[in-house]
Amino acid sequence: MGEPLLSRLIADGPPSLWEWIARNWDTGRVGSIKDLLGDHLVMSLVPIVAGLVLALPLGLASARWRWLYQPTAGVFNVVYALPSLPVFMLLISVTGLSKTTVIIPLTFYAIAVLLPAVVDGLGSVPDHVRQSAVAMGFTPLRRLVQVELPIAVPVVLAGLRVVAVSSISLVSVGALIGQGGLGMLFTRAYQNPFLPPVIVGIVLIVALALVADGLLVLAQRLLTPWVRARRAS
């Protein structure tokens, strides 16, 4: 049936980086690089989207009732200050060893960053712009959607860029509970010292962060065409 794997490794030496990637990219089993990449995308993108969806109404409420902002931001800042690993351990008793255990803390971390971004973005809207919208007969909802939120987009997306990069990076910590996406490559390399998994994990995580950041920059350009027009003039 052929030589045992150990005998082949002794005879041929360890595989090169590209050989290792080719062998492990899509093995048809759980734990291939392709599967880990997919898991990493899910566990990083869900907190980004969920954090934005939850931070927007909280930010709108905090901007409307300023007394609400400090206690709300304080709660999320406390959560943000908690080390991720102990939080994972606490959640295991509720959500088990699942992706949800990683997604929940990352969502709270995202809200902690996005809440002040939303409040600051809305606060950057000049008063005379609001007054002009009111004078033109805009309802509060129409003024929010067509005037205030578009002006707040650059500040909100700046916070979202921070969230995207940090979430993509922090997912790898979940490998310590068996749910770390590409971070699982690091634990494999630690258990069986071998450099290619570390290189592949780092490169793919950095690549994901760069792609996410680039897409958000593109989204900002598309959502704020007046900025380009002002710069062109």
CA trace torsion 153, 157, 158, 161 (10° rounding): -170
Distance CA 144, CA 62 (A): 14
Distance CA 73, CA 57 (A): 13
Instruction: Give CATH superfamily name and number for 41-226.
Output: MetI-like (1.10.3720.10)
Residue 10 has pLDDT above 50, yes or no: no
Answer yes or no: are the C-beta atoms of 91 and 119 closer than 8 Å: no
The tens digit of pLDDT for each residue in 99-117 reads 888 899 899 999 999 999 9
Beta strand extents in the chain (DSSP E only): none
Domain ranges of the chain: 41-226
Residue 233 has pLDDT above 70, yes or no: no
Residue 1 pLDDT: 40
The tens digit of pLDDT for each residue in 45-76 reads 999 999 999 999 999 999 888 888 899 888 88
The tens digit of pLDDT for each residue in 194-230 reads 778 888 889 999 999 999 999 999 988 888 776 665 6
Tell me which residue has tokens 């990219």. Answer: 25
Residue 3 pLDDT: 45
Tell me which residue has tokens 């931001």. Answer: 73
| H-only helix segments in 65-126 | 69-81, 84-95, 99-123
